[in-house]
Chain A
Amino acid sequence: MITSKNLTKKFGTKVAVDSVSLTLEPGHIYAMLGPNGSGKTTWMKMAAALMKPTSGEILFNGNPVGVESRKQIAYMSTEPYFYSWMSIKDVGRYYQDFFMDFSPEKYESLLRKMELEPSMKTRALSSGMMAKLKIAVTMARNARIYLLDEPFNGIDLLARDEIRACILQEAAADNILVLSSHLVEEMEAISDQAIFIKNGKLVEVRDLEEMRTEEQISMADRYRAIYGHAEVE
């Protein structure tokens, strides 16, 4: 369980995350939605203990996130971050050196499924292949929480299918997945909860099937209602 209490992050005078309070429970895939710059990435980085909050706190099973929580919280950033000398195999070895919950077997099987050649250098990968590699190495961990920042960004349809399958394969009753995206349609079927963030503020957290049943509206409809028509992609 991860709880964000009045979590705030300021960069100079700009407020990136503004007093966000919410609790995420195991057994769900959360879609974290909002246009670019609405604070999704900043929230995730604080949850991953990469960024320090300006005020408020973020707790993992009751304790503030930090070095300890990183053992159980897997974070995947939008941008590639591997060392340029690394091959796909080296990336796996690196995760194995640092994360107790990393399974080399799972990594290998994911690489096979995604048709990634372990001997390839990471600097030679196309953006689609890089996106698949990031997902594969992150999901090869047996973490309690997966924070995936824009897993579908900038990649083709086929790679998206593979990434979607990989995510769904790992979702379980005892883990939490948080996927940020501004590609709303992509998230509609795979997530069951939606977190809407606007200008750094939490708007609401909704159960999607409930919303479809009771109000006959989709996540995309709600998105349009919240953010206006201008920024829907």
Chain B
Amino acid sequence: MSALLKYELRKTRAMKLIFLGVTAVAEVVFLVSLFLRNNEGNTDNIIGTSALILMLIAIGGIILIGIQSIFTLHRDMNTKQGYMLYMTPRNSYQILGSKMLENGLSLALAGGFFFLLGLLDLTLLFSRLGELERLWGFFMEFLHMFNAEIELDTAQVLSLIFELLTSWLAVVSIAFFADIVSSALLNGKKANGVVTFIFFILLTILLNVIQNLLRKSGICTTITSTLIMQSIVALCYSIGMYFIAAAVMDKYLSV
């Protein structure tokens, strides 16, 4: 499976390098403008803009990693390129497993990378502009007006990021599953695309329903524990999708 994983990682390398490059440029702009700032705040606009761009890159990068995985899987099932996988002595569980693993790994890496970068940039920002801490406090008060419970501590931020990443992983695996089912069972049928999409929507709703039910059941008392519970549900759901999809692939997929 390591060989499969190696080539799955190779398939997404180009996009990751592009994101890394773009991030580097934005980061340099951010750091330089932060460094050149004088007391009148001459570069505040650039600092703000580059920080915003960095955030967008982080979000966009993570979204695109998932979308690229879906497209790669689709190509590997529906074009000649798929022979590269299915002519090898590897079974569907290994083939799909390497794809899931690649996606999970890439998401975790990208998530971790952007989280650390954000942390670093925020620390630099705070140390450079003492008055920003006042702004932050202001922001927290603003949040408390809506929900008194919100207490932005590290555990919460981390579990929130974890929850977002696992939910996205779950969405990607649902897409994998829907695409596999349509390629393996509905191949060549007219309503293929529509059926796949409906399938995808229904399975996503099901995940949310399960998460909501568990949330309302009252097992989790804090926000952090709720987020962790949701993450675990999303992870289990992804794993479930993986096993059913691999089984369908094994039994029905013809390339």
Q: Which residues of A contact B (CB under 8 A)?
A: 11-12, 45, 48-52, 67-68, 70-71, 75, 77, 79-83, 85, 94, 97-99
Instruction: Decide if B88 touches A70 in the complex (CB within 8 Å).
Output: yes
Q: How far is the CB of A141 from chain B (nearest CB, A)?
A: 11
Which chain A residues border B251 with CB–CB below 8 Å? 52
Q: How far is the CB of B216 from chain A (nearest CB, A)?
A: 44
- The residue from A52, A77, A99 contacting B83, defined by CB atoms under 8 A apart: A77
Size bin of chain B's contact surface: 20 to 34
Instruction: Decide if B87 touches A75 in the complex (CB within 8 Å).
Output: yes
B9 CB–A CB distance under 8 Å: no
With A70-B89, A83-B7 already in contact, 10 other A-B pairs whose C-beta atoms are closer than 8 Å = A49-B86, A51-B254, A51-B255, A52-B251, A52-B252, A52-B254, A67-B90, A80-B80, A83-B84, A98-B88
Q: How far is the CB of B12 from chain A (nearest CB, A)?
A: 11
Instruction: Decide if A70 touches B84 in the complex (CB within 8 Å).
Output: no
B11 CB–A CB distance under 8 Å: yes
How many A-B residue pairs lie within 8 Å, measured between CB atoms? 55
Q: How far is the CB of A90 from chain B (nearest CB, A)?
A: 9
Q: How far is the CB of A136 from chain B (nearest CB, A)?
A: 16
B137 CB–A CB distance under 8 Å: no
What are some 15 contacts across the A-B interface (CB < 8 A)? A11-B188, A45-B255, A50-B83, A50-B255, A51-B254, A52-B251, A52-B253, A67-B89, A70-B89, A75-B83, A77-B83, A81-B84, A83-B84, A94-B7, A97-B7
CA distance A82 to B11 in the complex (A): 12
CA distance A71 to B90 in the complex (A): 9
CA distance A49 to B87 in the complex (A): 8
Question: Which chain A residue lies CB-closest to B184?
Answer: A52
- The residue from A45, A94, A99 contacting B89, defined by CB atoms under 8 A apart: A99
Those 4 A-B pairs whose CB atoms lie nearest each other, nearest first: A51-B254, A81-B83, A98-B88, A97-B3
CA distance A11 to B90 in the complex (A): 25
CA distance A70 to B251 in the complex (A): 16
Q: How far is the CB of A151 from chain B (nearest CB, A)?
A: 15
Instruction: Decide if B88 touches A99 in the complex (CB within 8 Å).
Output: yes
Which chain A residues border B255 with CB–CB below 8 Å? 45, 50-51
